[in-house]
Amino acid sequence: MEKPLPLRRAALVAALAGTFTHYGAAYAQENPAEALELPTVEVVGTSMLPGLGTPIQNVPANVQIMNSRNIEQQRQLTLVDHLEQNAGSVTVNAAQGNPYQPDVSFRGFTASPLLGVPQGLSVFQDGVRINEPFGDTVNWDLLPQSAIANMQLIPGSNPAFGLNTLGGALAVYTKSGSAYPGGAVQLSTGSFGRRAVEFEQGGKSGNFDYFVTGNVARDHGWAEHNGSRVQQFFGKVGYQTRDTDLDVSLTAADNRLEGTQTLPRSFADNIRQAYTYPDRNENKLMFLTAKGSRFLNDDVLLGGNLYYRNYRNRNVSSNVNDEFGEVEDGVVNSTQAFNDRASIRQHSYGGGLQLTVSGQLAGMKNQFVAGGTVDSGRARYTQEDQPAAFTANRGAVGIGDFELDTDARTRNRYYSLFLSDILSLNDRWALTVSGRYNLARVSIRDQTGDAPELDGNHRFSRFNPAVGLNFNPNPHLTTYATYNEGMRAPTPIELTCADPEAPCKLPNSFLADPPLKKVVARTLELGARGKRGEGLSWTAAVYRTELEDDIQFIASTGVATNAGYFQNVGRTRRQGLELGVTGKWGPLSVGAHYGFIDATYRTGFAENSPVNTSADESGTIQVRRGDRVPGIPRHSLKVRLDYAVTSQWAVGANVVYANSVYARGDENNSDANGKVPSYAVVNLDTRYTVKKGWEVFARINNLFDREYANLGVLGLNAFTGPGRTFDGANVVGEQFRGYGAPRGIWIGTRYSWL
């Protein structure tokens, strides 16, 4: 005879079952362990590890949730495109000129694949932090969109999400065969030579389920030398009973991505050309995870995970020689360029354990969580340089052999212990208190035998607290206030590139540099959210995040625009306002998100920026308290419209607006080149159901073919000769810009089955 579901657990499952997009109440009753473990539209995962989650009315933060249905309807090229066009306070820039490798900014904090960008966001896949330990980077090209069940964007310096969460966390949850049965095949083609095929299949048999998906995409790129070859795979097998949920998943990728560098403004008559080339990244990943949870009794849930991640990157980049024309020992340096070849071989592994206890405290409902995590990463970094000469179209052709410049091993070890408690004071008030102790150890060892001064051990630790209070005067209105703290430890890249007298190229050459301090973030947020009827919901929030000992990459603004150094710049601040509204009226659905971000330096400092027109004779600028942080727009707006023309045909549009930004190197906001202008882009999509299971679709990005830039950096242009050929003796200071893609049109078809 089957054991009846315990009353307490049955009540929890009943509360959640109705909110699942793909789960029904019957499935939740049959498999309560998995139903509770997976996030829903109204339940937020407020920790990294498998647990019960928290009903959104008790979450003291302006959480944004995006589900697979919206992702599949809009069919953007990448996961980042969906974030840029739908999530409030999110902006994107073309730092590397490839659509799979953008910088993503949320509330002025960045998650980037580029070594050297100070990171401030944590990204998780099924509870495992996927910021690479070597540089805390995020490689957006490694996870297929078709694997995503939903995403939760959680703001603030929330210690629940561990080390290096300064401005927020993006939690990505993947599909399972039980929730997504059946299969589909999708084909698409269109602008820039893009061709893609995608498949997925899921199913369940008894207590077991499985889900697999993958895709292959190739394109020539919208500009010269920025083509892509993307091959992604995700697979998961699971086992569920009434008390236990176990999942094992594999993510694999083998991608080749070319990028175009930022262009000087004098090149703006043709934004498709490359400044120099080649610039190429090859990313390979094998990522294995196991996670599970088990009810020990009616009130106690034990959850945990284990993972192993093998990531390899090979990079080739072309760079102008900053020392061209200099005389040393009577010899003139006539080498025009260097081809830099770097590789990262990285292994990371770890796990965590979490205990959730639900019960009563002084007669009030209470949920207590305690746990710990261990994460370890090892990386081998090598870089070689090859002397090169430029062709007439600025290709860097090798004229010598590659010589080893850097060979180092690094190791990261992160440990944490955390506690959290949510106390329902009554039906209207809920109090959340949490804290996490983080310990980070970073070690670096030179492997060449020529730089023993590089060897070092670094230790950073801190206890980070958080407190939040929710008030729900009625079922349709929530107000909240929260304060939380977070910490970021400097990465090996930053620790070995912190000397203004010896700027590093990116990818970096390792040097023995002054130590950096840890960054501490303190966030205060007040907000409210509500619903009116069945069709209208809204959110509003104001926030302030203060950073102590913030780390910035300071561009040296030489001929190589990707050279510079890291520096603690004292205090910085990000504060702002967020407004959001979604509604549905018959066949029309509307969503809008407005974000205001005021990102400023709160401590003055001197910076070497000789190309800045306001620099003194030594090339120094004075950054003052109140100057705005470059690259962060003050205003952003996202609008999404969906209209069901008929029961078979639907059309949609995204409007994306971002305000003007200061260029990197203009930290004092005084360069005569001014700001990178604001822009607005309109994207359209449509889908038509031919018959059940068969759909055709189309998408137009940048409908009005607007030419726009979303990134600026000050640098020296070395291509001032006839036909923009190399002239290292007559370099000119300019503002370089990273441009968005021109209009692109894609069509495709999708066939699905149960």
Please report whether residue 356 resides in a domain. Answer: yes
Q: Rounded distance, CA 523 to CA 164, Å?
A: 14
Q: Decide the pairing of beta strands 364-390 and 337-361.
A: antiparallel
Please report whether residue 252 resides in a domain. Answer: yes
- Closest by CA to 235, choosing from 204, 255, 214, 205, is 214
Q: Decide the pairing of beta strands 679-691 and 620-623.
A: unpaired
Q: Which tokens belong to 353?
A: 């354990």
Higher-confidence residue: 14 or 726?
726
pLDDT at 472: 95
Provide the domain limits for residue 162: 7-753
- Closest by CA to 156, choosing from 568, 525, 575, 432, is 525
Please report whether residue 271 resides in a domain. Answer: yes
pLDDT at 294: 94
Please report whether residue 282 resides in a domain. Answer: yes
pLDDT at 414: 94
Q: Decide the pairing of beta strands 536-548 and 572-585.
A: antiparallel
pLDDT at 509: 40
Is there a cis peptide before residue 507, judged by omega within 30 degrees of 0?
Answer: yes
Residue 238 banded pLDDT, cuts 50, 70, 90 = very high
**441, burial (CB in 10 Å: exposed 0-12, middle 13-18, buried 19+):** middle
- Closest by CA to 521, choosing from 198, 78, 239, 156, is 156
3-state secondary structure at position 266: helix
Segment 156-162 shows an average pLDDT of 91
- Going from the C-alpha of 174 to that of each of 67, 414, 548, the distances in angstroms are 10, 25, 35
Segment 656-668 shows an average pLDDT of 95
Higher-confidence residue: 31 or 218?
218
Q: Rounded distance, CA 699 to CA 651, Å?
A: 10
Count of the separate structural domains present in the chain: 1
pLDDT at 740: 93
Q: Rounded distance, CA 540 to CA 472, Å?
A: 15
Please report whether residue 104 resides in a domain. Answer: yes
Query: What DSSP state is assigned to residue 159?
Result: G
What residue type is assigned to position 665 of the chain? G
Q: Is the pLDDT of residue 8 over 50?
A: no
Q: Rounded distance, CA 250 to CA 264, Å?
A: 42
Please report whether residue 2 resides in a domain. Answer: no
Higher-confidence residue: 362 or 468?
468
Please report whether residue 422 resides in a domain. Answer: yes
Task: Return the CATH number at 37.
Answer: 2.40.170.20
Instruction: Give 594-641 as a 3 state SS string.
Output: EEEEEEEECCCEEEECCCCCCCCCCCEEEECCCCECCCCCCEEEEEEE
pLDDT digits (tens, 9 = 90+) for 698-715: 999 999 999 999 999 998
* Summary mean pLDDT of the chain: 89
pLDDT digits (tens, 9 = 90+) for 514-565: 568 899 999 999 999 999 877 899 999 999 999 999 987 766 554 444 566 7
pLDDT at 502: 56
Please report whether residue 1 resides in a domain. Answer: no
